[in-house]
A = this chain, B = another copy of it.
Amino acid sequence: MRFGVNYTPRVGWFHHWIDFDADEVARDFDAIRELGADHVRVFPLWPIFQPNPTVVSAAALGRLDRVVELAGERGLEVAVDGLQGHLSSFDLLPSWLVSWHERNMFVDENVVAATAYYLETLARTVSAHPNAFAVTVGNEVNQFTGTVHPQPHPATSVQITAWLDRMIGAIRRGAPELLALHACYDASWYDDTQPFTLEHVARHGDLSVAHSWVFNGTAQRFGPDAFETRAHARYMVEVARAFQTDPDKGIWAQELGAPRNVLPAASVPGFIEGTVEQLAQAPHLYGITWWCSHDVSRGLGDFPELEYDLGLIDEHGRIKPEGLQVRDAVAAARKAPPSAPANVIDLDLAAVGGRAGLAPGGDFWTAYMDEARRGGHPQIRLVQSNAVRAHDEVRAKEGSTADA
């Protein structure tokens, strides 16, 4: 099991791509190494890296080169996400997508071609480094579609399949040796209006990727110290696994954190320990990557309150108690080998009311959590109900490539 952190630069947050300071990055990576991390996940900002559809900034790529190099010098491997896109409440989309140019990120052919060009170029840059291991399409790109976003880019699931095929294909052309991935936030697990589906999560890319945030209603509903709250990340992993078609495919808990808006200080150590322990016992878990490395400086404005305190290292560069707790929880978990699931639980998505039945407090959620509390995390067996089969047949007919 790998352990790493999502790298949030201490000085200037991700805007460091503008005011780049290699010495600061080096200092940040030194501190991250002290956490026992073996890798960092790194986030280019799309409008900086691709200010025009035909232009990928050479200066920005050069800075990314330097970041990967600095990580390598400290024994850190690197995963890079392409389309940011969405980060900590901020949408960062290039001007050629928005307002007067209002173009659909997932459907407009010119946009899709330009985006693929960017991802291929980015992947090629990253792949030149021996310590690079993965390229992810973007951070939670499903934030940009579905029904909840203020500026949606509407798309059907069939269109998303085609889009993911293009994007993952572009990454593979640029970096044939690296893992090609995509990442969704939990609407893909819990919300039937979300066109990025659990099939997309489970079957597209070289690993399945889960991002777990207990401010999604879990901690609010069950409480900060509840079994459900500490089991949530593992649950997301098990749900994703149920939709996989390749039994050997790994699952990466690529992003999880201890948000203080729902977890009081006293609950944080237990949350960290319980979450890491349960995750680490999952068969085929690829790794855990904590969100995030560094607190957002209080000198930066307009972040939602919870975003300032998610770091394992504070804004002055000092490792926080959470940093030691995560480090120790990972070390402890590594000593206990993954355990075979104690039981099997069937999931008939149609019967539980669609993805809402998987959401916190939903019918399937409740059955799963009862079972997990009683006898350990069960394996979820997908029951191919008529509805699901029909859905899959439609996708097959439309030329979808599962496990692309």
Contacts and interface: CB of A to CB of B under 8 A. Distances in A.
Contact of A54 (B20, B51, B102, B300): B300
Interface stretch (A55-63, A192-200, A271-279, A396-404): A55-63
Nearest to A98: B91
A321 B102 CA distance: 35
Contacts of A19: 57-60
A48 B96 CA distance: 16
A53 B90 CA distance: 12
Contacts of A93: 99
A47 interface: yes
Interface string A123-155: 000000000000000000000000001110000
A138 to B, nearest CB: 15
Contacts of A300: 52, 54-55
Interface string A17-58: 011100000000000000000000000000110011111011
A344 interface: no
B53 A302 contact: yes
A54 B299 contact: yes
A220 interface: no
Chain A contact residues, majority secondary structure: loop
A386 interface: no
B13 A52 contact: yes
A75 B110 CA distance: 43
A333 to B, nearest CB: 34
A169 interface: no
A98 to B, nearest CB: 7
A300 to B, nearest CB: 5
A57 to B, nearest CB: 5
Given A18-B18, A18-B59, A19-B58, A95 B90 contact: yes
18 contacts: A12-B51, A12-B55, A15-B51, A18-B57, A19-B58, A19-B59, A52-B300, A52-B301, A53-B301, A55-B300, A89-B101, A90-B95, A91-B99, A91-B100, A100-B150, A110-B301, A110-B302, A114-B301
